[in-house]
Amino acid sequence: MLQSKLFYKTSKDISLEEKSVNAQLLIRAGFVDKLMAGVYTFLPLGLRVLEKIKKIIREEMNAIGGQEILMPALTPKENWTTTGRWDSIDVLFKLKGSGGKEYALGSTHEEIVTPLAKKIINSYKDLPLAVYQIQDKFRDEPRAKSGLLRGREFSMKDLYSFHADLADLDQYYEKAKEAYLKIFKRCGIEAIVVEASGGTFSKYSHEFQVLTESGEDIIFYCEKCSYAQNKEIAGYKAGDKCPKCGGKMLEGKAIEVGNIFKLKNKFSEAFDLNFLDKDGKKNLVMMGCYGIGPSRILGTVAEISHDENGIIWPVEIAPFDVHLLALFGKDSKVNEKINKESSRLQESLQKAGFEVLYDDRESVSAGVKFGESDLFGIPTRLVISEKTLAKDSVELKIRAGNEAELVKLNKIEKELGK
Ligand code: ATP
Ligand code: MG
């Protein structure tokens, strides 16, 4: 991709109204644009990150047998009155259409997926089953001051699993938990599995929490073992003994990036989702639901992985692998050579499998180019200039590091491949 053609604008001044670090960094770098509180446009750079997060999620959901579907965001009121959640979900966006017909914008999709599954599941032979979607959800969040962390429209992956009995649900739930941990690891974030309230039917749900000062949740976690609970349900105070290993419980603020629940028969009962077992007897289907927020993950990474100059993207979700900067001078002949070598390098890196953003702009100063490169936070920066070409070299700097080094042009792929 040529930076001269990229749809973006970096900005120094972010409106004072934008308080969150993640939105400030993302807006400054031209990754997102704010339409209103809690609602953002993803520009090409931001969208590339979001899509990479979704790709990781897809791969891990497919690996545990999830089949991708896409349900509508516009949903009829009746489905929500069936479960009583038309009135009980306080953040539900409600609309009135022509003829007075009422709708909700999906804030979660149990009300849609359960009657859908009823059309497909008849017998024990149809179970187990897991479907998921990645879709924008809508919630009329009263506090939408945390940038991408708390959107009113935001991206969610929601997977729903269907089982013949509790034992099968339990087993799948553990598999999903492992898959979630893989997702967070690949996204470059360390998530703690936290026991949290499970709603009406299970003692606990499990949240995946990332410790950081900007988090809205408070968790207690053991300094020694992996045990943790959300403060909302925990009977602890900081310094108490861990009930699992006797270690010290610490208190910290955290961002909830994922949440999984055993719904058991809560929704299958409401919609009479049943199956015939081996003896021809009717049983309610056991369900689990598993949510994760791609846009919240993106915001979380911006919160926890940056310096004063901009975001530092983990390799697997970076918008590009390599940011190639050409530093042009006044001599048009030299500039031609710089552009030729840079284009050649871009092409050969792309052939080798690297995604390269090439800053090919001639009329932009080196200072601006470096500043934007730091803002973008692409893991590897390469610089070509008259000086480096005189040594048949390119300057290599890792965004997360401090040192730049000269590498021979014909050695660079090998160097990056390491
Ligand atoms: P919170 O307690 O932060 O409001 P929640 O518990 O209501 O979130 P869930 O219904 O469990 O959220 O949603 C599943 C996942 O979707 C969350 O773990 C989070 O990653 C993401 N998510 C939820 N609400 C938002 C939001 N307003 N903006 C961005 N992501 C969200
Ligand atoms: Mg939750």
Residue nearest to atom 14 of ligand 1 (CA): 291
Lowest mean pLDDT among 200-209, 338-347, 398-407: 200-209
Residue nearest to atom 4 of ligand 1 (CA): 150
Distance of CA 294 to the CA centre of its chain: 2
Ligand in closest contact with the CA of 143: 1
What pLDDT is recorded for position 200? Answer: 63
Q: What is the pLDDT of residues 211-266, one digit of tens each?
A: 999 999 999 999 999 899 999 998 888 999 999 999 999 999 999 999 999 999 99
Instruction: Mark residue 79 as left, alpha or beta (left: phi above 0; alpha: psi -120 to 50; beta: remaining).
Output: alpha
Nearest to 139 by CA among 153, 157, 149: 153
| CATH code for the domain defined by 3-190+197-206+254-307 | 3.30.930.10
What pLDDT is recorded for position 100? Answer: 96
Distance of CA 283 to the CA centre of its chain: 36
- Residue 340, classified by CB atoms within 10 Å of its CB into exposed (0-12), middle (13-18) or buried (19+), is exposed
For residue 17, pLDDT beyond 80 = no
| CATH code for the domain defined by 320-416 | 3.40.50.800
Atom of ligand 1 nearest to the CA of 158: 14
Q: What is the mean pLDDT of residues 310-321?
A: 98
Ligand 1 and 291: CB distance under 6 A:
yes
What pLDDT is recorded for position 12? Answer: 80
Ligand 1 and 383: CB distance under 6 A:
no
Can you point out the beta strands (E) in 114-183?
129-138, 153-163
In a mutational test of the pocket of ligand 1, which residue from 132, 139, 156 has the highest number of ligand atoms less than 8 Å from its CB?
Answer: 156
Distances (CA, A) of 414 to 29, 173, 188, 400, 409: 30, 42, 24, 20, 10
Separation of 291 CA from ligand 2 center, angstroms?
Answer: 8
Separation of 109 CA from ligand 2 center, angstroms?
Answer: 14
Q: What is the pLDDT of residues 379-404, one digit of tens each?
A: 999 999 999 999 999 999 999 999 99
Cβ distance 76 to 83 under 8 Å? no
Q: What is the pLDDT of residues 28-65, one digit of tens each?
A: 999 999 999 999 999 999 999 999 999 999 999 999 99
Assign 391 to helix, strand or coil: coil
What pLDDT is recorded for position 111? Answer: 98
Domain boundaries, the chain: 3-190+197-206+254-307, 320-416
Cβ distance 169 to 287 under 8 Å? yes
What pLDDT is recorded for position 202? Answer: 76
Q: What is the mean pLDDT of residues 187-196?
A: 97
Q: What is the mean pLDDT of residues 144-163?
A: 97
Same CATH topology for 3-190+197-206+254-307 and 320-416: the answer is: no
| Torsion, Cα of 63, 66, 69, 72 (10° steps) | -120
Question: Please, what is the average pLDDT of the chain?
Answer: 96
3-state helix, strand, coil in the chain (%, to 5): 35, 30, 35
Per-residue confidence band for 198, with pLDDT thresholds at 50, 70 and 90: confident
Q: What is the pLDDT of residues 71-128, one digit of tens each?
A: 999 999 999 999 999 999 999 999 999 999 999 999 999 999 999 999 999 999 999 9
What pLDDT is recorded for position 418? Answer: 57
- Residue 24, classified by CB atoms within 10 Å of its CB into exposed (0-12), middle (13-18) or buried (19+), is middle
| This prediction's pTM | 0.97
Residue nearest to atom 15 of ligand 1 (CA): 292
Q: What is the pLDDT of residues 298-308, one digit of tens each?
A: 999 999 999 99
User: Which position has the token pair 């949240």?
Assistant: 207
Q: What is the mean pLDDT of residues 65-70?
A: 98
Nearest to 347 by CA among 336, 360, 329: 360
d(CA 215, CA 147): 12
Ligand in closest contact with the CA of 110: 1
| Torsion, Cα of 298, 303, 304, 306 (10° steps) | 100
Cβ distance 152 to 141 under 8 Å? yes
Lowest mean pLDDT among 31-40, 195-204, 265-274, 318-327: 195-204
Assign 28 to helix, strand or coil: helix
